[in-house]
Structure 1
Amino acid sequence: MNDASSNTALAGIRVLDLSTRFGFYTGKLFADMGADVVLVEQPGGCALRDEAPFLGSQAGTSLGIPFNYLNTSKRGISLDLTQTADLAVFRELAAVADLIIEDGPPGTLRRLGIDHEQLVARNAALVLTSITPFGQSGPYAQFAATDLTLLALGGFLNMMGYPDGPPTQAYGNQAVAIGCMFAAVGSMMAVLAAQVDGVGQRVDVAIHECVTMAIENAAQFYDLAGVVRKRFAGEMRHAGTGVFECCDGYVYLFAGGMGAARFWNNLVRWLQEEDVAGSQVLSEPRWTDSRFMDSGEAKSIFDEIFPSFCARWRKEDLYHESQRRNVPLCPINDVEDVLNNAQMRHRGLFVGVPHERFGEEILMPGVPFHLSASPGRIAHRAPELGEHNDLVLAEWGVRHTRSRSAVEGRGA
């Protein structure tokens, strides 16, 4: 079974992960919390294995960084689900599983003869989670999509970037990550419900809808005020807010505007103690008027005062001083800053995961939440293709033998 200790939160839960594109992170969240998650791949392996960037320079050898991050703590088997023998094996595995995760186009499992209705005939408590761009129903259900198109159609992309330029996609597959997190929550609720009433459910996750949840109160702004919220990025929406340059990078300041007015006097006092040119004007009564703070005049005046002060500082030093003075300011960290951050180091977010074939540990984020009595952890590296074929089938009590194509799959 999974190498995680028996006191992990999800120890004893069995998961079959059929992900090929979208669902890997959902399975990872279960696996890192102790569930026995088995990644089921076709002979030859999933395309994510060889997706750049790579560990070292070994392209095309299952050393793609995305695959090795998204499949930690899972075990791996290979099955050719187009073959009768392997379908029989899968049905036996499903008969003792708690959860199946799949991300194929709607109807894929039905065409294979292993849809939820057929599988629950043998395992009434089985939960099937389907993660697709637009869900199992509706006019878009059969449409293909990328992370970028899902961000766009969900409304989130319109709010990303600078107001005087086109929308800008955030780094990585953010839409897919959002969908997978919602899928993990829905799956866990369905598994818990099945443990109570013995009835397994179909969890239908549309990434498109999950992305729309990320636009927070934008829908309410339109509903109540007829306002379409748009991107503003580092723009100074009010005097005392926005992105400003330091001597070694950038910081974000939020000391003006309706929600941050109580911090304004702290900032002004700081600037005056530092003898910043022009800062005396910021004590005038008009700076307590939110309408003035929103005006172009106020923003222009502030923009002549604060940047010169900010440019004297290193962003980390400016951040700590602002915290001491109760001024809401934070550094805009790059990856190096994040890895070296004292808080991250104290909490132990980044862990080294040994990888024999790569020859050294891979540094990656561990479990981003701490359970006091049943903590999660990355139990081991991502599996080689078919690495645990015989072990999983024996432990899960499967009697059928696999097809030759699965046995001869790469790495099996």
Structure 2
Amino acid sequence: MTSTPEVMALAGITVLDVAGPLGNYCGKLFADLGARVILIEPLIGSPSRHVEPRIAGRDDSDASLTFQYQNTNKESIALDLESDIGTQVFHRLAERCSLILESEQPGKMADRGLDFAQLRRANPALTLTSITAFGQSGPFAHWLATDLTAMGMGGMLYLAGYPDTAPMVACGEQAVGAANLFAAVASLAAVYDAEVSGSGQHVDVSMQECVVMGMENAVQFYDLEGTIRQRNAGTQRLAGTGVFECEDGYIYLMAGGIGSNRFWKTTTDWLIEEGVIGAEQFREERWNNQEFLASDEAKHLFGEVFTPFVRKLTKRALHAKGRTRRIPLAPICDTRDIAGDPQREFRRYFVDTQDAHGTTLHMPGAPYRLSATPWQLRRHAPQLGEHTREILSWVGYTDTEQEAMRQQGVVR
């Protein structure tokens, strides 16, 4: 753990996180910047406690690496929201918080008496952020969906993979990640507005729409040109622009296609200087023509010349040569490269912490730096119900009342 600064960026903000796997990372972003984030879990624990991968040799409810990462700096209360007493407790908590994050199907919170209209009666400045697959309204609003569903229906899946195969999903839950990031930005804006105006808002986040936002210019291509962008994976989109195999992995080269082939001459000069057989032809006028660069003939010719050359060199060597000549050439890093990267080591991006059982975990830190109110890792992810007593006391429940709740199976 690191020391806590006197002032953190979001100190004074209290967040109720009932979002589950679809929104726990959003809650973490608030917690890591100093907000008090209370994770409200069902009595059996959050679903993300059971997500693989797990800490080797452990099968307890704290062993999920996903849960451990997404819930650092949070407190946990185990509460039955399907009970009348549970909803009463939730209302008391909502009265004292600035933001609630939830990811139930539209209408579920209303069925519990916990929709935005009811919650804000006692707290008009409350912000409620709902993160769902398709949003709170529309013909798809009540459809269930996973990350894969959102990637498919958001169009991103169509662009991922190889030209001669079915679409492929990107590594990790990218749709879920996008929904969390957009939810965090929108929620922070709404909380700020509520502090100024005194009136909270309901923030409605659609995971599908977040995916569509990430499709670069695919929609614009269709709108302006009637062109449906295709997936090309590592194949050359244009001659000289694509993934190429080298001695110890792969590199990505962009020698043409941007700014009237501004990098083509530089790349050609480099290859000629290296004595690459066949590179002289790249000075011919036809290689300055975009239509020719997009042809299978051009791609094949470039590959015949370039591939034998790069297969004899490492990623590191090729990257250095590209940087020297200011050619867009990047190594494609695997997890070993990322973990041992000197840039990340210098910025102390990866951090160590211990879970509640004393197991040391090595995890990503924050990809941003605030000079005066920095991100801090203050506590490990909570055990199920670890802070139930403290949280109930905070909203006025006596020890006798808490014990009665436990006897009735409302809290844990």
Q: Which bracket does the TM-score occupy, shorter chain normalised?
A: over 0.9
8 Å contact 2:78–2:411 — kept in the other structure? no
The range that moved more, 185-194 or 80-89, is: 80-89
Aligned length: 410
What is the rounded CA distance, in whole Å, between the counterparts of 2:345 and 2:320 in structure 1? 17
Q: How does 1:184-195 map to 2 (within 5 A)?
A: 184-195=184-195
Which residue identity does 2:148 align to in structure 1?
L
Aligned AA (1:366)? G
> Secondary structure of 1:353's partner?
strand
TM-score (norm 2): 0.94
8 Å CA contact 1:80–1:405 kept in 2: the answer is no
Matched, 1:110 2:110: yes
C-alpha offsets along residues 332-365 of structure 1, whole Å, 9 cap, x if unaligned?
A: 11111111111111222111122241x3321111
What residue identity is the alignment partner of 2:360?
E
Structure 1 pair 197/411, CA: closer, same or farther in 2 (3 Å)? closer
- What's the CA shift for 1:308? 0.8
Q: Helix, strand or coil: the match of 1:262?
A: coil
Deviates more, 1:159-168 or 1:272-281: 272-281
Counterpart position of 1:363: 362
- 1:225-283: CA deviations, max 9, x gaps? 11111211111121111110011100110011244711112211221121111112222
What CA distance in whole angstroms lies between the structure 2 residues aligned with 1:50 and 1:407? 26
For residues 315 and 409 of structure 1, do their structure 2 counterparts lie closer, same or farther at Cα, with a shift above 3 Å needed? farther
List runs of 5+ in structure 2 lacking aligned partners. none
Summarize deviations over 1:315-338 as a string: whole Å, max 9, x none.
122112211111111011111111
Change (3 A) 1:411 1:350: farther
**Superposition pairs for residues 280-299 of structure 1, below 5 Å?**
280-299=280-299
CA distance in 1, matches of 2:403, 2:47: 21
- After superposition, residues 297-376 of structure 1 pair within 5 angstroms as 297-357=297-357, 359-376=358-375
Give 1:410 deviation, angstroms. Answer: 12
Equivalent position of 1:93 in the other structure: 93
1:393 equivalent in alignment to 2:392: yes
CA contact (8 A) 1:319 1:331 kept: yes
Query: Given the superposition, is the C-alpha separation of residues 407 and 283 from structure 1 closer, same or farther in structure 2, using an over 3 Å criterion?
Result: farther
What secondary structure is seen at the aligned counterpart in 1 of 2:39?
Answer: strand
Deviation at 1:120, TM superposition (A): 0.8
TM-score w.r.t. length of structure 1: 0.94
Inter-partner Cα distance in structure 2 for 1:347 and 1:411: 42
The 8 Å contact of residues 102 and 130 in structure 1, kept in 2 or not, is answered as: yes
Q: Where does the alignment leave 5 or more consecutive residues of structure 1 unmatched?
A: none
Secondary structure of the residue aligned to 2:182 is: helix
How far does the alpha carbon of each residue in 1:43-70 deviate from its partner, in whole angstroms, 9 at most, with x for none? 1211211221101121243211111111
- Looking at structure 2, the residues matched to 217 and 239 of structure 1 have their Cα atoms a distance apart, in angstroms, of 21
Q: Does residue 47 in structure 1 map to residue 35 in structure 2?
A: no
* Aligned residues of 1:292 and 1:298 also touching (Cα < 8 A): yes
- Aligned-pair distance for 1:132? 0.7
| Identical pairs, percent | 44
- Give the conservation status (yes or no) of the 8 Å contact 1:385–1:410: no
RMSD: 2.1
Q: Is the 8 A contact 1:286 1:292 kept in 2?
A: yes
Residue aligned with 1:244, SS: strand
In the alignment, the residues of structure 1 paired with residue 409 and residue 362 of structure 2 have an alpha-carbon distance, to the nearest angstrom, of 29
Residue 293 of structure 1: how far off its partner (Å): 2.1
Task: Decide whether the 8 Å contact of 1:179 with 1:210 is kept in 2.
Answer: yes
Q: Deviations over 1:159-217 (max 9, x none)?
A: 11111111000111111110111111111111000000100111111111111111122
